[in-house]
Amino acid sequence: MTKILAFANQSGGSVKTTSIVAIAVKAAAEGRRVLVIDLDPQRDACHIFGYSDPDKLCSACGQQIQTDERNRAINDCTEGNGRHQPHVTMFDVICSDGFDLEEAIVPALSGRAEAIPGIDLALASIELSAADVNLATKIGADQRLDAAITAIAEPYDLILIDCPPSLGKVMVAILYASTHVVACVKPGMKEIRALTELERTIRTVNQALHRGEERLVLGAVLLGDVPSEHQGKAYKEAADLVRVEYGDLAMPPVARSVRVPEAYAYQMPINLYDPTAQVSQDYTKVFKALEQIGVV
């Protein structure tokens, strides 16, 4: 059965995209077939996987559509009748009728060029920032994503969803479609307090949408961007609190590293950009811990 993991935290700014991409790479290297669904309007997973502006990607020729100040195409498509066809995105899939999730899927790339074996990507759109308003008028909005995923899930071992930073219609649809939540937090008391809100949301989804059945569970707590101990006692206390409160669900901490923004700039997952970096080794430990508790 395909496991569907929502990487989320209601506090925002929670290293979830770096984590989801690194874990996808590690899973693929271990022989899993992985689909990453980017549902964050910031589109950072798309950027890291080689697609700087998925809203201007042509589905016919695979090139970026160059536009003028009035958003009119200034370069011709090299396929078909010469007119560009904007690629289907996850906004189309969840907010419009007649689009299949398969149409939004492209190969994940490293450095905007080389396909990463075993990883596919479902493209996000900047229009997702308005998706909550759009879904408010849709019948069965909570189930639309679940139906779309069910139709394409069979070939994949793992489906990893990069969530928006706030609770809304899109987030509820993600949680309804998922089997596990991986809570991603930075080592601060404010961020860790937000875990309580996330757990409450999981309970609400199970009670209201799954009729009391615990189909959705908190699968893991991933503490990222952790500074060295000499940078402050509060960080260590926060990390210790996570380990005490969540036990086996608390993943090995992921160190803060300047290599992460470097990798982002080069549009590469951190564990492909610098496999020997401490942060890359940390994500290997996280993946192994996720395996041990049966989340991946």
Task: Identify which of 219, 203, 198, 231 has the alpha carbon closest to the alpha carbon of residue 23.
Answer: 219
Q: Is 30 helix (H, G, I), strand (E, B) or coil?
A: coil
What secondary structure letter does DSSP report for 266? T
How crowded is residue 208: how many other Cβ atoms within 10 Å of its Cβ?
12
Torsion of CA 183, 189, 190, 193, to 10 degrees: 50
Give the strand pairing for 105-110 and 114-122. antiparallel
Q: Which of 8-12, 81-85, 191-195, 223-227 is predicted with the least confidence, judged by mean pLDDT?
A: 8-12
pLDDT digits (tens, 9 = 90+) for 175-214: 999 999 999 998 887 888 888 889 999 999 999 999 889 9
Q: Is 77 helix (H, G, I), strand (E, B) or coil?
A: coil
Residue 231's pLDDT band, with cuts at 50, 70 and 90, is low
Per the CB < 8 A criterion, the answer to whether 163 and 14 are in contact is no
- As a whole number, the mean pLDDT across the chain is 92
Is 107 buried (19+), middle (13-18) or exposed (0-12) by CB count in 10 A?
middle
Residue indicated by tokens 């016919």:
60
Q: Which of 42-51, 53-62, 107-116, 117-126 is predicted with the least confidence, judged by mean pLDDT?
A: 53-62
* pLDDT given at position 76: 80
**Which CATH number is correct for 3-54+88-292, 3.90.226.10, 2.60.40.1840, 3.40.50.300, 3.40.1170.20?**
3.40.50.300
Average pLDDT of 161-174? 93
Task: Identify which of 91, 163, 129, 121 has the alpha carbon closest to the alpha carbon of residue 269.
Answer: 121
Residue by residue, DSSP assigns 112-157 as TTEEEEEEEEE---GGGGGHHHHHTTSTTHHHHHHHHHHHH-TT-S
Per the CB < 8 A criterion, the answer to whether 233 and 241 are in contact is no
* pLDDT given at position 9: 80
Residue indicated by tokens 């077939």:
33
pLDDT digits (tens, 9 = 90+) for 264-293: 999 999 999 999 999 999 999 999 999 999
CA of residue 235 relative to chain centroid, distance: 25
* pLDDT given at position 188: 81
CA 80 to each of CA 54, 56, 84, 88: distance values in angstroms, whole numbers, following the listed order: 20, 18, 9, 17
CA of residue 293 relative to chain centroid, distance: 20
State if pTM tops 0.75. Answer: yes
Rounded Cα–Cα distance for residues 282 and 173 (Å): 31
Per the CB < 8 A criterion, the answer to whether 174 and 145 are in contact is yes
Q: Which of 28-37, 119-128, 233-242, 254-263 is predicted with the least confidence, judged by mean pLDDT?
A: 233-242
Tell me the one-letter amino acid at 19: S
* pLDDT given at position 11: 60
* Order of strands, sheet of 3-8, starting from the edge strand that comes earlier in the sequence: 105-110, 114-122, 34-38, 158-162, 3-8, 180-185, 217-223
Rounded Cα–Cα distance for residues 94 and 177 (Å): 12
Per the CB < 8 A criterion, the answer to whether 192 and 69 are in contact is no
Average pLDDT of 143-159? 97
Indicate if the alpha-carbon torsion angle 222, 227, 233, 234 is positive or negative.
Answer: negative
Q: Which of 76-90, 216-230, 276-290 is predicted with the least confidence, judged by mean pLDDT?
A: 76-90
* pLDDT given at position 12: 56
Domain regions of the chain by residue span: 3-54+88-292
